[in-house]
């Protein structure tokens, strides 16, 4: 991570967390802080922050955690009465980004230090912008006709189909630009003869509304697919080539790699029989040692895979921790970055990789240790608002 111009505060860090009090992310981070022998973090509930802002004390180290999994907060951000609704992500994004900027201004006024940069969070939560930043930095990513500042907006199925045809993409992922947890993601396949199949966790109702489902389903009629894409498009769509991923035990496999303070510290293999490997959609943890062995057997190196993740994280130097979705190609020799997640550290009970400096620590413990290493030393602080 880069350095700030302000002097680092002295003494042990005092943490403050903006999060949902009932969320296990907040609980696990607080446990890590106490395990480091530090006072429990001061909690600012997202609901209260959204209603009235926030105040911070000089020298506080501020962690912005996920606002998800709280129906009241979701309503405040998205304006949707039903938290399972897919629509409303553009509204969510606008309100979330403004809330983070408000937190940043309050931290600056109070003399606190942010662990999450508001400008970088704005990029991380826009898949089109994030993909463009990664590509410009030379990080391998799937080909996309919709990433970067000059990318065209997508108005609906007719434009999606035209873009796919002009880019020569028979297999592609359509992703809500501001979505998370695979909400609304569509894996689209064409056979070149006009037949299509869409795989998604989004349930399309008779009145054209979309809802998240824990069951992955398939649509194979173009009118259904068109209605699905037309419902997603108003919130913004990112399109990328369907990357041919490696397999483990006959299941598609990818890796979630957590990078803390620029260093890959934790990794887990995710496998699935569907194109989406998210664990809440039926995915399962795979065998990390087997994946590492497959990489080495291909002639590549495990360190090469981690280096790709660290290069992706380096695009966001003012954000302490990101979760990188690393896509290994068939054969395990090449890699691409599917996404970089601002809140991608929820991997309970997973301890650090050998040689990472986070051995014996979970993802939250690694972040606390990273802050402690840079907090209170002479010179400058690594995290700043």
pTM of the model: 0.92
CATH entry 3.40.50 includes domain 14-122: yes
Q: What is the pLDDT of residue 180?
A: 86
Q: What is the pLDDT of residue 10?
A: 61
| Tens digit of each residue's pLDDT (9 = 90 or more) over 157-173 | 999 999 999 999 999 99
Q: What is the pLDDT of residue 263?
A: 98
Q: Please give the structure tokens belonging to residue 210.
A: 């979309």
Write down the CATH number for the domain with range 245-341: 3.30.470.20
What is the mean predicted confidence (pLDDT) over 6-30?
Answer: 87
Q: Please give the structure tokens belonging to residue 243.
A: 């990357």
Residue 9 has pLDDT above 70, yes or no: no
Domain map (residue ranges) of the chain: 14-122, 157-241, 245-341
3-state SS of 77-139?
HHCCCCCCECCCHHHHHHHHHHHHHHHHHHHHHHCCEECCCHHHHHHHCCHHHHHHHHHHCCC
Residue 5 has pLDDT above 60, yes or no: no
What is the mean predicted confidence (pLDDT) over 327-356?
Answer: 97
| Tens digit of each residue's pLDDT (9 = 90 or more) over 210-231 | 888 778 889 999 999 999 999 9
Q: What is the pLDDT of residue 2?
A: 42
Residue with the larger pLDDT of the pair 106 and 205: 106
Question: What integer best gives the mean pLDDT of the chain?
Answer: 91
Q: Do the first three CATH levels of 14-122 and 245-341 match, i.e. the same topology?
A: no
Q: What is the pLDDT of residue 325?
A: 97
Residue 72 has pLDDT above 50, yes or no: yes
Residues in the chain: 385
pLDDT confidence tier of residue 331, bands split at 50, 70 and 90: very high
| Tens digit of each residue's pLDDT (9 = 90 or more) over 342-368 | 999 999 999 999 999 999 999 999 999
Residue 376 has pLDDT above 60, yes or no: no
| Tens digit of each residue's pLDDT (9 = 90 or more) over 308-318 | 999 999 999 99
Residue 384 has pLDDT above 50, yes or no: no
pLDDT confidence tier of residue 276, bands split at 50, 70 and 90: confident
| Tens digit of each residue's pLDDT (9 = 90 or more) over 101-159 | 999 999 999 999 999 999 999 999 999 999 999 999 999 999 999 888 777 789 899 99
What is the mean predicted confidence (pLDDT) over 233-241?
Answer: 94
Q: What is the pLDDT of residue 383?
A: 39
């Amino acid at each position: 991570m880069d350095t700030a111009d302000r002097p680092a505060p002295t003494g042990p860090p005092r943490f403050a967390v903006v999060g949902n009090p009932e969320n296990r992310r907040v609980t696990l981070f607080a446990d890590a802080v106490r395990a480091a022998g530090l006072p429990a973090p001061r909690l600012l509930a997202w609901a209260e922050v959204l209603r009235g802002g926030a105040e911070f004390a000089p020298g506080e180290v501020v962690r912005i955690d996920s606002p998800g999994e709280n129906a009241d907060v979701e309503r405040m951000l998205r304006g949707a009465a039903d938290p399972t609704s897919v629509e409303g992500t553009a509204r969510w994004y606008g309100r979330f980004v403004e809330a983070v900027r408000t937190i940043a201004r309050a931290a600056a006024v109070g003399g606190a230090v942010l662990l999450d940069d508001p400008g970088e969070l704005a990029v991380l939560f826009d898949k089109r912008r994030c993909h463009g930043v990664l590509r410009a930095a030379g990080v391998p990513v799937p080909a996309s006709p919709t990433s970067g500042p000059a990318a065209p907006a997508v108005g609906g199925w007719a434009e999606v189909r035209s873009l796919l045809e002009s880019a020569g993409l028979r297999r592609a992922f359509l992703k809500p630009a501001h979505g998370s947890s695979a909400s609304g993601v569509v894996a689209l396949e064409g056979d070149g003869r006009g037949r299509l199949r869409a795989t998604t966790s989004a349930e399309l109702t008779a009145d054209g509304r979309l809802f998240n489902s824990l069951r992955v389903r398939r649509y194979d009629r173009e009118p259904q697919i068109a209605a699905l894409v037309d419902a997603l498009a108003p919130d913004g769509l990112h399109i990328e080539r369907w990357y041919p991923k490696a397999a483990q035990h006959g299941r598609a496999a990818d890796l979630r790699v957590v990078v803390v303070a620029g260093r890959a510290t934790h990794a887990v293999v995710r496998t699935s029989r569907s194109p989406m490997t998210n664990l809440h959609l039926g995915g399962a943890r795979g065998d990390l040692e087997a994946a590492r062995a497959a990489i080495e057997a291909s002639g590549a190196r495990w360190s090469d895979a981690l280096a790709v993740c660290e290069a992706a994280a380096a695009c966001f130097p003012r954000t302490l921790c990101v979760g990188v979705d690393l896509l290994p190609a068939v054969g395990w020799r090449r890699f691409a970055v599917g996404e970089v997640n601002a809140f991608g550290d929820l991997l309970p009970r997973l301890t650090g990789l050998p040689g990472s400096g986070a051995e014996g620590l979970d993802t939250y413990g690694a972040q606390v240790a990273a802050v402690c290493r840079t907090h209170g030393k002479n010179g400058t602080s690594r995290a700043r608002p």
